Structure 1
Amino acid sequence: MKEEWYNQKWAIIARHVLAWGFFLSLPFLLHPSYEHRNDEHMNDKQIWGIYMAIYYLELVIIFYLNAWYLIPRLIYKKKILKYVGCILGVFLFMYATRWGFGKTLLHEETMDIKPTILFIFFSLFFILSASTAFQMIVDKMKMERKISARENENLKTELSLLRSQVSPHFMFNVLNNMVSLARKKSDVLEPSLIKLSSLMRYMLYEADEDKVPLEKEMEYLQSYIDLQQQRFGKNVVINVSLDALENHYEIEPMLLIPFVENAFKHGTGLISEAQIDIRLHTSADKLFFSVRNKFNEISEEIKDKTSGIGLSNVKRRLNLLYGDDYVLQIDKKDDWFVVSLQLNLH
């Protein structure tokens, strides 16, 4: 998956540079004007400006030293005493730098120790707090990305398994159709085999994609329905209407076929005046799909024992792929089994 531009390395470096540029410019932006000061005083201020630049550079180094080294290697490993010792060493180094600078360049005979210690302490405390918060946020974001990537990988694996369940189930039904036609020595066996070949091609080469054109999925459904219609002939009334006005929509492959398989499985056999109605149309970026079939309560229990991967499979896939972007209704009423699916295609 392509990384968002704001998470790319150059964008992260740019944010750091801008943040530090603003932070380091504050002393100069807030620095009073020295236009009316004498030359000797100006020289002292320039020396102090150099010291402050060095001091702020120290803070920058401490920020990343704490974030990239001390926290991962000491805090996260619960080596608290070593961490405290390192911070104390950093504090003493900063104090020694201030003392040496005052002695060598400013020729200070005495240094006011208390305000110097307080100034170094509070600035060090601020930079360490900011550094710690920064690194913990970064680490948390990395962990969340890893968890998300792991969940996506698990999702892909689960979807792949669900698809692999659909294929054998479908093939089992279709091959039964072929056996039935062969026994009847039907003239439609050859065109049926050609249709089966096209279906297998779809399953092998296109069903592995994340999405396929809705038109392809409709062709797949129609071929399957044609094979079933050839098998049952006039024993089952089959009404089909697959009408998608727009051809730019995409859908999860082999998502709709379990509903149709279920209708032929439970809507044929010991059923008087068997009938299956299949409707599909699109409107306003939504797909409306319905399948209904007559069923017989007597034979229902027997068939249910061998139908464990149909509707439960597709419900799971809908939840994984579309979340709240679908509405599925399944009803049994007056000897009719009705499935209605509304799916957001945007």
Structure 2
Amino acid sequence: MNSFRQILLHIFVWVSLLLMFMFMHTNGGNITRTTIIIFVYFGIVNISIFYINYLFILPTFLDRKKYLWCGLAILFVVIFFAFIKCGLAYYFYDIIITRVSGKRKWVLNFWEYFLSATLVSCFFIFLSTILKFIIDWFRNEKIKSNLENEKLISELAFLKSQINPHFLFNSLNNIYSLAYQKSDKTPEAVLKLSEIMRYMLYESNENLVKLDDEIRYVENYIELQRLRFKDTVYIKFEIDGDTHDKKITPLVLISFVENAFKHGIATDKDNPLTIVLNVTSNKLFFQVINKKSNLNKDETGGIGLQNVKRRLDLLYKGEYRLHIEDNEAVYNCELYLDL
């Protein structure tokens, strides 16, 4: 909210309050000169107390943790304005100081009115202090929320930046293997890698992408692996359900598939690498099962699965379930995700 709108809001609130109290004081009757004097003059004084504390004393002393000076400043303002109120009261002696109840008429002494004026001033000090704490709390919560969002965005950007080098490193190793074998399929593998990298660099920059595009990306990766293993790779990729008009955060599914190829066995005809993707309503089930290999170990430790787990925590907190079964023979990964 800009400053001009804040000023208008404050003016509206104070005018509304003054009119409401004037109406209540007169029981809905005519507003007299006495009412105007009481509510306008003394209203201005009390509003001044409110803003002196809210705009000057609290920001100058309380925000800087100068509590003693803050207390002394408030005490000075309360006493100072109590004397001003007493001066106004004696100026309008017949209206303010003189009290009438039926046939009885009496005059308030100075200290009685001074005490009353002090208590009213303390009330407006209290109101302004409460408002200050409320505004500061909301402002701090907003700052905290913005910082958390910035941290989230930065962490997601970092995690996503790790995917490309990690994927490229593994794919180049595969293409190197084809080139080393002088395979005729090396150019086709390079072309597939080019298509995959195009998706990673340009089409996956949004927070959400079409599920069909992500599936096509996984299929391209599988084709790249088929070229690597020639005709000795056995893969079952099953897709069931309506995948149209569904969206998913990019580069999540690929990590599980890549992990299966890197650490599993895809050349066993009796135990093919199985990938299942099922969409029911707005829920996705993704499963990757592979026979484990004891030969293909990553000595430096992979970042793929740790990366995707962290991204799922950040983007789908409370909206996903990841179950991993890791035994001596089989690695089974199941992802349940709310789209």
User: Fold match, TM over 0.5?
Assistant: yes
Q: CA offset at residue 211 of structure 1?
A: 2.0
1:74-223 superposed matches below 5 A: 74-106=61-93, 112-223=109-220
- Matching of residue 277 in structure 1 with residue 274 in structure 2: yes
Q: How far off its partner does 1:33 sit? A: 5.3
The offset of 1:236, in angstroms, is 2.2
| 8 Å CA contact retained: 2:288, 2:332 | yes
Aligned partners of 2:91 and 2:248: how far apart in 1?
Answer: 75
Aligned length: 329
Matched, 1:265 2:262: yes
Distance of 1:33 and 1:294 partners within structure 2: 86
The Cα shift of 1:24 comes to: 1.8
Give 3-state SS (helix, strand or coil) of 1:330's partner. strand
* Residue pair 1:51, 1:101 contacting (<8 A) in 2 also: no
Alignment match, 2:38 = 51
Match of 2:238 in 1: 241
CA contact (8 A) 1:99 1:111 kept: no
Partner of 2:55: 68
Percent of pairs with identical residues: 36
Q: Which amino acid aligns with 2:192?
A: K
Q: Secondary structure at the match of 1:235?
A: coil
Question: What's the CA shift string for 1:220-267, capped at 9, x where partnerless?
Answer: 111111101121133221111235514222222111111001100112
1:338 is paired with a residue whose SS is: strand
- Deviations 1:249-302 (CA, angstroms, capped at 9, x unpaired): 222211111100110011238968552111112212111111111113x33xx6
Q: Give the one of 18, 21, 32 matched to 1:24.
A: 18
Contact 2:212 2:243 in 1 (8 A): no
Aligned to 2:335: 341
Give the letter aligned to residue 245 of structure 1.
D
**Cα pair 1:271 1:295 within 8 Å, conserved:** no
Task: Kindly report the root-mean-square deviation, in angstroms, between the aligned alpha carbons of the 2 structures.
Answer: 2.9
Q: 1:317 aligns with which of 311, 322, 325?
A: 311
SS in 2 for 1:343: strand
**Distance across 2 between alignment mates of 1:259 and 1:176:** 18
SS in 2 for 1:30: helix
- The equivalent of 1:331 in structure 2 is 325
Q: Map Cα deviations across residues 50-99 of structure 1 (whole Å, 9 max, x no partner).
A: 23212122222322321222112112323344333433333344334333
8 Å CA contact 1:246–1:282 kept in 2: the answer is yes
Give 1:213 shift. 1.9
Tell me, in whole angstroms, the C-alpha distance in 2 between the residues paired with 1:12 and 1:98: 28
Please report the TM-score for the alignment, with normalisation by the length of structure 1: 0.83
Q: CA, structure 1 residues 257+81, in 2 after alignment: closer, same or farther (shift >3 Å)?
A: same
Contact persistence 2:325–2:331 (CA under 8 A): yes
Deviation at 1:185, TM superposition (A): 3.9
> Using the alignment, how far apart are the partners of 1:35 and 1:226 within structure 2?
87
> Residue 336 of structure 2 aligns to which amino acid in structure 1?
Q
Give unmatched runs, 5+ long, in structure 1.
Answer: 1-6, 37-41
Whole-angstrom CA distance in 2 between matches of 1:339 and 1:160: 25
